[in-house]
Amino acid sequence: QVQLQESGPGLVRASETLSLTCSVSGYSISTAYYWGWVRQPPGKGLEWIGIIFRTGNTYYNPSLKSRVTISLDTSKNQFSLNLISVTAADTAVYYCTRDDTFGGLIVSKFDYWGQGMLVTVSS
- Residues near another protein, by CB under 8 A: 36, 38, 45-48, 50-51, 59-62, 95, 99-100, 102, 105-111, 113-116
Least CB distance from residue 99 to another protein, whole Å?
A: 7
Least CB distance from residue 76 to another protein, whole Å?
A: 22
15 vs 101 by CB, closer to another protein: 101
Alpha-carbon gap, residue 24 to 2, rounded angstroms: 7
- Greatest alpha-carbon pair distance for the chain in Å reads 46
Cα 25 to its chain centre, rounded Å, is 16
Report DSSP letters for 14-29, one per residue: TTS-EEEEEEEESS-T
16 vs 21 by CB, closer to another protein: 21
Least CB distance from residue 81 to another protein, whole Å?
A: 15
What is the DSSP pairing of strand 18-25 with strand 105-106?
unpaired
